[in-house]
Structures are given as structure tokens and as C-alpha cells.
Structure 1
Amino acid sequence: MNKRILIHVGPPKSGTSAIQLALLQHRDTLSQMGINYPTHGLGANGISSGNLEAILSLDCNNKWQVCEDKISSLIAEFNNSTQHTLLLSSEYFFYLAKEIAVLIPQAKFIAYVRCPIDTYESSYNQSIKRHMNCGPAEFSKNLHTTTLNILSEAVEVIGSKKFILRAYLPFSEDGFDILKDFCTVLDISNLQVTKYSTNSSYAFEALEFKRWINQFSLLNLDTLLDEVLQEYSRGKEHFSLLPPTLFENYQKQALTSIRDFVNSNRVYNAKELIAYIQKRTSLPHKSQLISDTEFEKICEFLKNSHPVIFKEIGIALNKVQNTCSLQAPHRIKIFLTKYQLKRGFISKLGTALNSIKR
């Protein structure tokens, strides 16, 4: 039997969560087809780190590194099985692909190539959603193409024949569907999933609310709040933080970087990706500032639809002592007023805020 090992590396912000959710939901079906997809945990909203722990371990510095013992054990088990394909998926593998290739030389890597503008903005939004970033987006004269640069280096070092490269397109672009596309790689029919939408984008107001709340480091509430703000965001318009004055320049740079990459590497649907970037228009621009009225609307949403998490946030904000270095500290008072805390505390907070203004 010809056996193959496929390692899906993402990269980040290219539909990995949806792919992993589908694979996990259909492990038994895949196994019957001869594909071994090792089980892994699943967090809120269908988010996970995939098969991270199948071949990686934490080192003494608490950083994930390739584990030779885990790899040897996993491959030995696979070789002794009746299955013809071992499939692994994790975005962590993206940054360790070169090391993995040394220990699993027979592996082929699956990677998606996305418009660098979309990747950059999506990565920033993700840093607010999941990584407690509370800083504003920064746009320099030149477009950041870090993800594409890392992929280019990996392909050059490992070898292009070891990569299966696919274009990542918006869901509605010419009928593109990330799950159908991934199933094509596996040479199987499309996997039907009971829950497709994972890691949904925030509305602008929700993103700014989360950016503000991140400065309080409410780690115990972060996952729940993320899920709730995704709910608030459904059906609201898409937006961009990229200043319109930079869009044309970024678009040209994105085209150049993608053309250079596809000229050196075979990328399935490369023409469609280039065409998408060429005709891509700037989304409605938003400056990173919401009004107190918009802030209050989210507070009302939390209070009415999710009173438990609203209460927990109120309790946490009630404990805030030093407001000197906070962004928009007066919004603590707005939230606590909605929370209907004792007037004495709100009065003291108001006095403190007034002293800061002076």
C-alpha cells in the first residue's frame, strides 16, 4: 500500500478553523476512507489548535517545538494501520515546517495563499479578538507581507515538490468554498458540517469595544466575550481600518508579491487570486473611535442578552483602582451606570476622572 502523510499548516487566517472543525466532525467517515486524522480538543466557537500536541511539545522555555519521540510513535502506529493517509493540521506547524520536514521527509505540506491586505487586517483583528491587544492598527507606507515571506522561505528550503499550494479566496468569490477545496486535495467528496461558521468577524463597534475591554485583562471572560461579540456582529457591514489613501499603494504591492510568488511556485487557482486582488475595492473605512452612544449600545446588548457575562464585567470594572493610563476611562462610569452599581462608587469614579482631565 502506498502511504502518504499530509500536513496542513494553514497559514493563519486562511480558513483553518473551518477545515479542522469539519475534519474533527467526520473522523469516523475519514477513517473509513483510509484517512487517519488524529483527534484533538475543540474550544468555543469550534476553535482549536488542531493536531498541535500530536507532534509538538513544550520546551523548557514554554515554547512549542517538534518532538522526535511523538513523531516516531505516531508514524509507527500509522505504518502498522490499514489506513493510507495520515493527515495533520495546525497553524503552529506553519512556523515549524522546516523542522518538521527534517523529521518527516516523506510529508507533503498543504498551504493556502491569501491576499496580503486581507491577511494583515484579519491578523490585526484577531489580535484584538483572541490575544488581548488594545493598541490601534498601524499602517506603514509598505504593506506587511510577513506570512507570505515565511511561506516563501519554507517552500525554498523544503522544496516546492513537497508543497500543495492553493489560493484562498473570499467565500463567495466564483463559488469558492474552503471545505470543498480542501476535500479536493484529499480526493474525497465534500464533508457536510453541522456548524460551519467559526471564528466569525466582528462588527466594527464590537471590535472597538473588545479593544477597550482588553486593557483590563479579563482572561477568565475572554472566550465567552469573544463568542458573545461574534453574535452581536452577525449581519453587520464589513469594514476596513486601512486608510483609503494607502489602499491603491497596498493593492499594487499585494499584486506584486503574489505574482512573484506564483511565478516561482505552482499555486492552484492563482489566476483567480490575482483577478480578485485586481478588482478588489476598499471596504468602507472606519477610524478607530466609536462614540459613547455606540459603546452604550453594546453595553445594552450585553445587559439584555447576556446578563451573566455583563455582571461579571461589571464586577471586574468595579475593582479598577488606577485609571490614569487607561484609554477612555470615562467609559468605566458609563458601563457601571448601566450595571446600576451603588451611586457612591460611581460618584467617586467621576471625581477621579475629573481630576485626570484637569
Structure 2
Amino acid sequence: MKIIIHVGPSKTGTSAIQNWLSSHQKNLLELGIYYPPHRVDINGISSGNLLQVFDRDGDELIVNNQKVQDVLTKASLNKCDRLLLSSEFFSEHIDALIGAFGSVEVIAYLRYPLEFTQSSYNQSIKRHRQTNRFGIRMKPQAFNLERLEKICNKLANNSYQIRPYHKECFEGGNLIADFCQALGIYDSVSYMIGDGKGSRQINTSYTIENLEFKRWFNQFNLANHAKTLDTFLQSESQTGEQYSLVKPELFEIVKSHFNELIKEFAKKYKVYNVERFIQVCQNLSPNPYKEQFLSENDFKVIADKFLSARDVDQLTLFTLYMNDWKKMDNIERPEFLDIFGSRFSLNIRFRFYIKAMYRRMKKLFRLLLLKTTS
């Protein structure tokens, strides 16, 4: 059985690909491709097939050989000659996947390093509590190229496809069509690509206002509200606003540096449609520059929408505000904290103080009980 591993890596439309594959699993079965089902969140985002191969052990991922055998067995029972697995986390664990499956074929996408860097920064704000503003050197590292280089070095020459991640380089005009070309099934599924199933935009970057809102909140312990806030801001950013955090004068310097790195990479490793990709990279112009600043009015608007969102527990959030956040020092934009506190209703405040009073009375009662019994 042929094992096809889509490794992403991150910030190359992995969630969009997985969403489409999940929506067309029956069609894939008819073509002899088994794509195991997996969970997605309300915004269509998931870790793909990661946990159908690996187990989590703290921060580590360990191959579960029984899970590997299970997906192979299910593929055989469905009379498939190809097993397709997708997760951007796979890009960090190629050795383990080769050890588990033996021979594998890898599909990976190469995104322009500057786009990758800015998109990764956006992701670090979303999910990894980044609080610093964006910054870039004149000759920065191309981390995505380094990751792809490690992947290619682990594989035989003909067992990987590196494909440009850019709309002007996609076969068929879009990412899903291009991925189906990579699988060799485009002619069979081309009529499904525009059918509306699994075709919505997934995991878009935050708008600049939502980015700054989340960056400010990353200073605080949000407890279980971190996921709720991310889900809310993600749903509020579905327009996919295009902007740059790099000033135009720096953009050209960084672009020249990254273009040289791409040419060097292409000399060592085969990249599909590489001449076209290099030409696109040379012609790139920056998106409109946006300063990382959030006005008080925009903060109020986003805060009010968030507090009225469906899954927000205002009482526990106000409790965090009163018992934790207000005690912190050296907060960036401290005026936002007062503004946020002012957005809670009188009902929430009343319930908080009643609960606080009840806890104090309960504690006092226990102390009095201990004195009378001693």
C-alpha cells in the first residue's frame, strides 16, 4: 500500500486542504484513497490525522504502533491502495513516520519566507501567547526552508513533492486543485472542487485590530477563556484582510535576501514549477503596511462583541479581572484594563460581590465554629 503523508508545513493552507478532504472522504474512497476522519473545531481547524498515528506524552509525540496498524487495516477493509494522512505536525516527525510505515511519499508546500514569517507571527499571537510586537532583521532566517530541507534530506529523491504555495503557481488555479494534482486525481474530482463543500476559507489571519486585541490579552492568565477568545477572533477575521507588518523600505531588502535563499534551495532540491515561483517571488510587492496599534474605540467595540459571544462566561472572566489581572504590574496599555472592566454589566458585578461575600461569611463561620469547639 502506498503511504502518502501531507506534512504542511504550517501556514500553507493545511486546514483548508484537510477541510476539503474531510468533506469528500466517500469520493476519495471510490478512487482508492483512504483518508481517516478526524475532528475539526467550529472554524474548521484541526490537527488533522496527528492523533491517529501519535500519542501525546506531555509535550512529546510518540508513535503508537497499534494506531498505525489500525489505519492500515481500515484502508485495506475499504479496498484502498493508498493511505493519505495530513497534519502540519508531521513535518517535525518524518523519522518517526518512516520508522512506523517504512516507505512514505511526502507532499509539502513552500511558502515565500517573508509571508511565512508574518503568518507565523500571527499564529504565535493566536495560539502561543506572544506579547511582543513584530520585528525582522535585514537578513533573517528562512525557517520554513530549513524545515523543508530537513524533510528532503530524510527522503529518497523521488519520494517527495515540494510545491509552491502561491495562487499564481497553483495548478488549476487554487490550492485544492493543486493538491489534487499532486495526488494525481484532479481529472476525477475537478467538478467537486467548486461544489462549495469544504471550500470556505480556513484559519485566516487575524485582522490588525483583532491581532492587537489578542496580543494585549496574552499578558494575562485567561484560563479556559484563551480558546474561547481565539475562536471568537477567528470568526471575526474571516474576511482575510491582507496587510504587512514590514515597512516598505525594509521589505525590498528582506525580499532580495529571501529570493537568494529560495534559489539556493531550488538548486539542491526539486521544487515543482520552480521557475514560475522564482519569477513570482521577484515580482512581489508588499501589502499595505499596518502599524501595530489599537485605538480605545476599537478596543471597546471588540470587547463588547467578545463579552456578548455565545460561549463566554462573563462571571468567571470578571472574577479573573478582579482577583488576578488588577493586581498585575507593568501592563502594556494599562488603560485598556480599566476599559475592559467597565464593559461588564451591573448584574455580573452584583453576582461577583454576592459570591465573594458568601465566601467570606463561610470562612468567618468556620473560624467562629473552631473557636467555640476549642
Band of TM-score, shorter chain: 0.7 to 0.9
The match for 1:113 is 110
Q: Does the C-alpha gap of structure 1 residues 4 and 175 become closer, same or farther in structure 2, counting only changes over 3 Å?
A: closer
The match for 1:41 is 39
Contiguous gaps of at least 5 residues in structure 2: 353-374
- Answering whether residue 202 of structure 2 is matched by residue 205 of structure 1, we say no
Q: Does the C-alpha gap of structure 1 residues 310 and 292 become closer, same or farther in structure 2, counting only changes over 3 Å?
A: farther
The match for 1:242 is 246
- Answering whether residue 282 of structure 2 is matched by residue 278 of structure 1, we say yes
* CA deviation after TM superposition for structure 1 residue 256, in Å: 1.1
- Answering whether residue 15 of structure 2 is matched by residue 10 of structure 1, we say no
Contact 2:110 2:144 in 1 (8 A): no
Contact 2:34 2:80 in 1 (8 A): yes
Indicate the larger mover: 165-174 or 121-130. Answer: 165-174
The match for 2:343 is 338
Tell me the distance in 2 between the aligned counterparts of 1:132 and 1:316.
17
Q: Structure 2 matches for 1:178-327, cutoff 5 A?
A: 178-188=175-185, 189-190=189-190, 191=193, 192=195, 193-235=197-239, 237-302=241-306, 306=309, 309=312, 311=314, 313-319=317-323, 320-327=325-332
Indicate the larger mover: 47-56 or 240-249. Answer: 240-249
Q: Structure 2 matches for 1:76-87, cutoff 5 A?
A: 76-79=73-76, 82-87=79-84
Contact 1:117 1:143 in 2 (8 A): no
Q: Does the C-alpha gap of structure 1 residues 271 and 294 become closer, same or farther in structure 2, counting only changes over 3 Å?
A: same
Tell me the distance in 2 between the aligned counterparts of 1:81 and 1:301.
46
1:217-264 deviation line (CA, Å, top 9, x unaligned): 324223332232234334474221123332112101221111122222
Q: Structure 2 matches for 1:38-117, cutoff 5 A?
A: 38-59=36-57, 61-79=58-76, 82-117=79-114
State the structure with more CA Rg: 2
Tell me the distance in 2 between the aligned counterparts of 1:173 and 1:75.
31
Contact 1:17 1:46 in 2 (8 A): yes
* CA deviation after TM superposition for structure 1 residue 178, in Å: 0.9
Contact 2:169 2:277 in 1 (8 A): no
> Could you tell me which amino acid in structure 2 is paired with residue 185 of structure 1?
A
Tell me the distance in 2 between the aligned counterparts of 1:11 and 1:131.
17
Q: Does the C-alpha gap of structure 1 residues 235 and 150 become closer, same or farther in structure 2, counting only changes over 3 Å?
A: closer
* CA deviation after TM superposition for structure 1 residue 135, in Å: 2.2
> Could you tell me which amino acid in structure 2 is paired with residue 27 of structure 1?
Q
Tell me the distance in 2 between the aligned counterparts of 1:237 and 1:185.
29
> Could you tell me which amino acid in structure 2 is paired with residue 322 of structure 1?
K
The match for 2:29 is 31
* CA deviation after TM superposition for structure 1 residue 141, in Å: 2.9
- Structure 1 length as normaliser, TM-score? 0.86
Q: Does the C-alpha gap of structure 1 residues 340 and 58 become closer, same or farther in structure 2, counting only changes over 3 Å?
A: closer
> Could you tell me which amino acid in structure 1 is paired with residue 331 of structure 2?
L
* CA deviation after TM superposition for structure 1 residue 309, in Å: 2.8
* CA deviation after TM superposition for structure 1 residue 338, in Å: 2.5
The match for 2:148 is 151
Tell me the distance in 2 between the aligned counterparts of 1:332 and 1:171.
44
> Could you tell me which amino acid in structure 2 is paired with residue 309 of structure 1?
V
Q: Does the C-alpha gap of structure 1 residues 173 and 291 become closer, same or farther in structure 2, counting only changes over 3 Å?
A: farther
Contact 1:10 1:91 in 2 (8 A): yes
Aligned-residue sequence identity (percent) comes to 32
Contiguous gaps of at least 5 residues in structure 1: 346-358
Contact 1:115 1:273 in 2 (8 A): no
Contact 2:172 2:178 in 1 (8 A): no
Tell me the distance in 2 between the aligned counterparts of 1:247 and 1:201.
20
Secondary structure in 2 matching 1:268: coil
* CA deviation after TM superposition for structure 1 residue 173, in Å: 7.7
* CA deviation after TM superposition for structure 1 residue 148, in Å: 1.0
Count residues with an aligned counterpart. 340
* CA deviation after TM superposition for structure 1 residue 53, in Å: 1.5
* CA deviation after TM superposition for structure 1 residue 161, in Å: 1.3
- Structure 2 length as normaliser, TM-score? 0.82
Tell me the distance in 2 between the aligned counterparts of 1:35 and 1:239.
38
Q: Does the C-alpha gap of structure 1 residues 227 and 141 become closer, same or farther in structure 2, counting only changes over 3 Å?
A: same
Tell me the distance in 1 between the aligned counterparts of 2:28 and 2:21.
8
The match for 2:357 is none
- Answering whether residue 333 of structure 2 is matched by residue 328 of structure 1, we say yes
